[in-house]
Structure 1
Amino acid sequence: MGIPGLTLRLLNRGQWTTLEGRPQHSGADDKAERDERDQHGQIAIIDGPGLAYHVCGGYREDHNSGAAADLRPSYRDIGRRTTEFLEDIEAVGLNIHAIYFDGVLPHTKLATRKQRLEKIMSQLKEANQPITANVISRNRFPDPPFLVPAVIEAIKSSRFKESVRVVPAEADSYCAEEAIAYETRTGKMATIITNDSDLLVQASGRQTRIMLLTGLVRNRELDTVKAEANVFFPAKLASAAYVDSLIPTAFFMSQDYHLSFDAAVAKAKKTPLQNDTEFASFQKELEKPDYSTLEVNASVVEVLEQMDPRIAELAHQLMPEFPRTRDQPANIFLVPLLEDVSKFSAWISGQNIRNAAYRMVLSHQPRSCCIEEYTRRGISVHAETYRSKPAWREDMEHYTSIISGVRDFLPPRKATAAQRFNYIAMYYALAAFAERGHVLSQEEIIRILMKDGPESREELHASAMCQAAIYSLRILKQLLTLEKARHGLDEELSTLEDLLEEMPPLSALLERDAADTVDFWEDLAEGLLGTIDQE
């Protein structure tokens, strides 16, 4: 997650570097050239979350034009820009060796994660301030809520798919470990591309260089690709300061945001830290955790590596090998959606779906085990507790019936998979809306299903509720796949898993397609309203 203010105070210790090369116009993967680079220190190890937010930030800068700014940046466009970034990095001479995404964050960072959710809610609250009577500001919203899993899907659909790893720890520790392993194997330098300041002080190899995404500029001119960035050599930085490790220095800089690097080095040299519990805790957070999946069945590990990071985190916490005390809840954090914070949380939609999924995975845990789901409640973070109950199979039968029924009603020849799942999501969103005394018109439903962009706060919130229901089905899908790998599925659950396997990528589910027309959705919207009225 990084050490606040560290990068800024180390900027003058970096070296501005320019890399140039020629793009691979054919998109071909030249194995001989890649093998040659691998042997000569021309590899890039990438911090995945940092890459996703860097690309999204660039997209928003390009599209931020006041009132015309995009309310919801396009997942498709961000995915395309991500693969273009990777193509450019290879064009300037660095093989994409690995792209790591956080699969588990330490329990010690629970408070920090709550603060981040609260920051997002503050952004939403500011964006919800009306410019006119019922209009929301389009240029102050937080980043898209499903940015990271959407970027992962985009990379997995490209030629870089084999590089992606969702790891059972924070990405930075795996980046550092892989750089050390590469240097040990080849004697050459690895380049880590990141915005995580932790990597500026972690042990990552004697030659490893850290390339910061902040300030990184890429240019394409004719047949040339150029990348300019600030790079750091942590081992050389430590050597120049005459210290074995930069972690004590970083510790003092984390305690005093005004302390310079030189002053922190001097303080670290004269301060004994062997018995300092605060330092021990700080140091431990920078280390790779003891938990690993080396003893876990390979088929289960494969499933864990394919999960969305937030879902993977929950799954890892429920593994027998995970270092969690008997009474410590397993956590899942559901980021606030692009919603109206004056209303109830959009995650109310799909709650029963998630409840059934949680109870399924809890059925294999001790009775004392529970799941705490962190979501928005008002403008604060709230944890809802879920415990195992035997009735979850009946709920699964219900979802099998709903999804198969819609598939029969809207067969593939008449509707895309994205349209079918959006229809289901709208049903759950409307039901949750109606339970709380809210009603949408047919026209509003059509606009939401067509992904036209909200014209009011009601539409904004209902759209977020649709997305919540869609992602709840995705949680169910991924936990069912894990259940299959760990314990097997009976016929009923296998049928449900097969139905959920038809879910397309997030970019297809959450963004408009050519098939989304008024003619297609008009009668269906009217039917949805009628269904809710009958309940």
Structure 2
Amino acid sequence: MGIRGLNQAVQRYGVFSPLSGDTVVIDGPALVHRISDTCIKQRPPGSGFLCHPGYSLLSRMVISWLNELKSHNVNVRRIYFDGYLPPSKWDVRQERLLQLSEHMKTLKSSQPSGSPRTPESAFSTLEDGLTFTKLNGHFHSNILPKPPFIIPAVLEALKHNQVWGPLVSVVPGEADVFCAQDIRENGGTLLTNDSDLLIQDLGATGCVSFFWDIVPVSPSSKGLGMTSCKLSLREINDRLGLTNIGGLRRVVFEKEKGRMRFSKAFQYARDSHEDTLNSLEYQSFIKELELKVYIPNEHPVLGVLSSLDPRISEVVVQALLLEDPGVESLTSDTKTSRGPETLSIFLPILIEDRDKKSTWTVSTNVRQIAYSMLQKFMRYKTSNIIEYRTLDPSTTLAGRKIEIPDLEEMINGCAQLLLTLDKLSRGLPSPDMQWFAFAVYQDFEWSTSEERSPLAATLIGEITRQPENTEEYSWALIHFTAQVQACLYSLRLAKQILDVVRFLGQDLPRLVQELHNRLASLPLIDAWPAVEQVFDQLSEFSNVGGFETITSILGIPSIKTTELLSRHTSGREKRKQDNEMSSRKARQKYVKRSPSINPFAVLSEASQD
């Protein structure tokens, strides 16, 4: 987030002093996004909107940055990550989600054929280390979609690192506020890129330093240690003569309230004779800066939050805080009943084709198992959860209501999921392939029920229609990749919710315990198939008879993929003319046979989330 113009206004009051020998606390999300943005700034010219650093590369860059920091005798006391965003941020969060949703919608119209292929050498020249966060460049943050799982992927890598894992904390609140409290109580320097922290009370000796202000003591040698520009709220207040009129906080309050430039807000705060400091509006502003205790320090759930993804931690904390919905409904307008007082989850924004059904739709049944298990530690049960995937102004920012199954339905769902995984494992030569196979299975299962052609079947046709050196990733491929990732994240959600239930000492039914054990083998996020690998995985899956295994499990007609592919052998020059005609013929042919169960029926485009 940050306060526009604040850093530039007070930068002159910072003092460069040694960072080597100092103790620091790190704003984890800020560091990850800074390194991710810096990577994207160095993309080759003309790169497509899918040209991102891979999760493994990004994790390596973050860990290398931390390792070099440590090598310069900088003591890292803690790395904080958000684990719950307060209700006061609800409206802002919805507005951001709406903006992202609208951007994803326009992306398809502006790039109708897909995204240019990412060169293999796109990020081969990146040089890791501390100075990486100092690099500047132009980043169109409002144009390029970000990879959806960068925070949980890096968190996962950090937690598996022997040095950094013990220092990572996912907290029941906002990371920046916990960083500030740590510095206020224990001293040191807070490393961030968020100018909001400039108005946090960091105690008598605490200060803020931005990632881009960390530099070697000597430009010619890093061996002499590192230094950084440190900003102290108390020193800034003294030098600006603001101590007795509310300090820098007062200036920021006036700036935000009046939408002024910093210089004008500074002058207004100096000259005003109003009793602003005692006004309710100012007190509310100050309250937002304070640490709010949502979960008591003695609550056992704090022992498991750091093993969760932030979005999953958030729904766990919200489940614990949820009040009696019966009491709430008596006083709340039904139009506002989908706010923070209703059990909700903000799912990661996937890069998908907004003209099709949401990629989260296919794996809803898996997430329903997770939501049902949330009830095990909730004070008040609820029959629904609101999923925020993407938003549209016409939906009044309401999210999508998902029914939470009761215990019996949930156990039946577990049994069906386990049975499917067992059948897939027996039908495939490698157990490592079962999770990708399950994502393909869900594609077939949902598409069959909706009388649509599975995206996987469409892509198998693309594999032979397009040359290996095709210059673009099609929207079908992009959408299917997102669908696979949504399926894997849904399984991950179920696994982590079950981790919490077990950690809190709740008993699990036998089948649920079996599912929990099975989910322990889920791949890490950096091993999930990216758009670059999906064609190869589908080809391998086809070669080992994966499609025949799935159609056999579902009891639907099986068509050999070789037969399917033989329909698309026309040359590149004729392809544009032939595609529409062959598609029409295929539709007529398959509809006559079995429109409701044939997995290779022509994919309907008429859908909207």
- Structure 1 length normalisation: TM-score? 0.83
Query: Contact (CA 8 Å) 2:424, 2:550: kept in 1 or not?
Result: no
Question: RMSD over aligned Cα, in angstroms?
Answer: 3.4
Paired residue secondary structure (1:342): coil
* Most deviating of 250-259 and 64-73: 64-73
Q: What is the aligned partner in structure 2 of residue 27 from structure 1?
A: none
Structure 1 counterpart of 2:114, which letter? V
Q: What is the aligned partner in structure 2 of residue 204 from structure 1?
A: 202
Structure 1 counterpart of 2:96, which letter? R
- Shift in Å at residue 273 of structure 1? 2.9
> Residues 471, 129 of structure 1: CA spacing in aligned structure 2 closer, same or farther, 3 A cutoff?
same
Query: Contact (CA 8 Å) 2:206, 2:232: kept in 1 or not?
Result: yes
> Residues 282, 306 of structure 1: CA spacing in aligned structure 2 closer, same or farther, 3 A cutoff?
same
Does residue 174 of structure 1 match 2:175? Answer: no
CA offsets per residue over residues 389-425 of structure 1, 9 Å max, x none? 42222112222222333334446xx242xx3212112
CA distance in 1, matches of 2:484, 2:219: 39
CA offsets per residue over residues 70-129 of structure 1, 9 Å max, x none? 534300100000001111222333112111001111111111111221232233234323
* Most deviating of 307-316 and 81-90: 81-90
Does residue 464 of structure 1 match 2:482? Answer: yes
Q: What is the aligned partner in structure 1 of residue 583 from structure 2?
A: none
Query: Contact (CA 8 Å) 2:113, 2:472: kept in 1 or not?
Result: no
Q: What is the aligned partner in structure 2 of residue 384 from structure 1?
A: 400
CA distance in 1, matches of 2:540, 2:220: 45
* Most deviating of 517-526 and 155-164: 517-526
Structure 1 counterpart of 2:354, which letter? V
> Residues 142, 8 of structure 1: CA spacing in aligned structure 2 closer, same or farther, 3 A cutoff?
farther
Query: Contact (CA 8 Å) 2:386, 2:401: kept in 1 or not?
Result: yes
Q: 2:95 aligns with which of 115, 134, 147?
A: 115
> Residues 73, 165 of structure 1: CA spacing in aligned structure 2 closer, same or farther, 3 A cutoff?
same
Paired residue secondary structure (2:423): helix
CA offsets per residue over residues 465-519 of structure 1, 9 Å max, x none? 1111110111111111111123122322111111011112100123478995844
CA distance in 2, matches of 1:220, 1:519: 51
CA distance in 1, matches of 2:415, 2:550: 24
Q: How many pairs does the alignment contain?
A: 499
CA distance in 2, matches of 1:217, 1:256: 36
Q: Superposed, which structure 2 residues align to 1:88-487 within 5 Å?
A: 88-131=68-111, 134-136=113-115, 140-158=143-161, 159-183=163-187, 190-214=188-212, 224=223, 230-242=229-241, 243=243, 245-261=247-263, 263-264=265-266, 266-267=268-269, 270-297=273-300, 300-319=301-320, 327=328, 328-362=341-375, 364-367=378-381, 370-377=384-391, 381-390=397-406, 391-410=409-428, 414-416=430-432, 419-434=433-448, 435=450, 437-440=452-455, 442=457, 444-445=459-460, 455-486=473-504, 487=506
- Structure 2 length normalisation: TM-score? 0.73
Query: Contact (CA 8 Å) 1:2, 1:196: kept in 2 or not?
Result: yes
Query: Contact (CA 8 Å) 2:209, 2:229: kept in 1 or not?
Result: yes
Query: Contact (CA 8 Å) 2:428, 2:546: kept in 1 or not?
Result: no
Q: 2:524 aligns with which of 505, 510, 513?
A: 505
Structure 2 unaligned regions, length at least 5: 118-139, 329-340, 558-596, 598-609
Q: 1:523 aligns with which of 523, 530, 544?
A: 544
> Residues 330, 3 of structure 1: CA spacing in aligned structure 2 closer, same or farther, 3 A cutoff?
farther
CA distance in 2, matches of 1:430, 1:377: 26
> Residues 195, 111 of structure 1: CA spacing in aligned structure 2 closer, same or farther, 3 A cutoff?
same
Query: Contact (CA 8 Å) 1:129, 1:137: kept in 2 or not?
Result: no
Paired residue secondary structure (2:356): coil
Q: Superposed, which structure 2 residues align to 1:37-52 within 5 Å?
A: 37=21, 42-52=22-32
CA offsets per residue over residues 159-200 of structure 1, 9 Å max, x none? 2111100000100111011112213xxxxxx11111222210
Bigger-Rg structure (1/2): 2
Query: Contact (CA 8 Å) 2:324, 2:380: kept in 1 or not?
Result: no
Query: Contact (CA 8 Å) 1:241, 1:265: kept in 2 or not?
Result: no
